[in-house]
Structure 1
């Protein structure tokens, strides 16, 4: 490293964080009787016993209040062929499902049919953290792994293995 920033702005921090490759996930739930979903890359395993994971939702997101209040949701890892699904769930507005095939899961959360893997979860705690909330969840149901090439996000673009 040749340069160190003692002070930096959001743009520099965002560029630096973009050097960390992440998987891409879609989180879904039901709000007011309608399926809603959003794209995240802040998914993290927390514990195997008991099985737990977390994701983050930004305070500025239109869907923040819905996910912060949700009791159950489904978490889907997207495949390298699902860039369009990622973009569909990242766009503004509540209605993002379009004609994507899904079924209600055991918890009632919408489960997308073509994800690499899906977990149905129960919300355990919402933890405020800066301009986001961390949603800590227990895994209640596992939908089997299908395929093997995940969608990756790195340096502002989509990639695969």
Structure 2
């Protein structure tokens, strides 16, 4: 196991990889590996592109504040879902259940036009909400902030629904898993 900090990175190459361009940061592969140890719920971000639902898998989602209730999602700058979110002005965050683990791959890998095939959903405040999720939250876009190759989209929460007794899908160490829920 190797550890690399910005301080040691400026001193030159380190075991396990070199620092590209002398940026003082860890190598991208090492960073990606470390991030796999951040257990996180798997979500599908959805929006309407005209009258057609679109969406993508995302794990970089967090609550910002409850005054006013606001979420932040991180979407790739080139994402078709991001284009739809910006154009529609609303989006939904769907926290997948363990039983929906196939949807994580579907919304990450399939061509955009096939992702919603036979996926049950309804529309609330002009945003698609998937059925069977742990929770679904619909937001109105408040701000979009470019950061590196992603855009952080903050959204004011317009609607939230929670389904009790549903086990969430969590990704940890590149594997789908479930948290141990209290009895």
The two structures share one fold, judged by TM-score above 0.5: yes
Equivalent residue number for residue 15 of structure 1: 33
User: Residue in 2 aligned with 1:84?
Assistant: 102
- TM-score, structure 2 as length reference: 0.81
> Within 5 Å, which residues of 2 pair with 1:74-113?
74-95=92-113, 96-105=115-124, 107-113=125-131
**Alpha-carbon contact 2:90-2:140 (below 8 Å) kept:** yes
- Report if aligned partners of 2:49, 2:87 keep a CA contact under 8 Å in 1: no
Q: RMSD over aligned Cα, in angstroms?
A: 1.7
After superposition, the Cα gap between the structure-2 partners of 1:39 and 1:3, relative to the gap in structure 1 and judged at 3 Å, is closer
Kept in 1, the 8 Å contact 2:48–2:85? The answer is no
Q: Give, in whole Å, the separation in 2 of the partners of 1:135 and 1:88.
A: 22
2:48 paired residue number? 30
| Unaligned stretches of 5+ residues in structure 2 | 10-18, 20-25
Residue-by-residue CA offset, 1:91-132 (whole Å, 9 max, x unaligned): 242221110111111x11111111111111100000001110
Aligned to 1:155: 173
- 1:124 aligned partner: 142
In terms of fraction of residues, the more helix-rich structure is 2
Q: Is residue 83–residue 151 contact of structure 1 (8 Å, CA) maintained in 2?
A: yes
CA-to-partner distance for each residue in 1:6-33, whole Å, 9 max, x for gaps? 2332111111111111110111110021
Q: Which runs of 5+ in 1 are unaligned?
A: none
Contact 1:115 1:146 in 2 (8 A): no
Worse-matched range after superposition: 93-102 or 57-66: 57-66
Which residue number in structure 2 is paired with residue 3 of structure 1?
A: 3
Bigger relative contact order (CA 8 A; separation at least 6) = 1
Residue 145 of structure 1 deviates from its aligned partner by: 2.5
- TM superposition score normalised by structure 1: 0.91
* Total equivalences in the alignment: 160
Q: Which runs of 4+ in 1 moved over 6 A?
A: none
The answer to which of 67-76 and 37-46 deviates more is 67-76
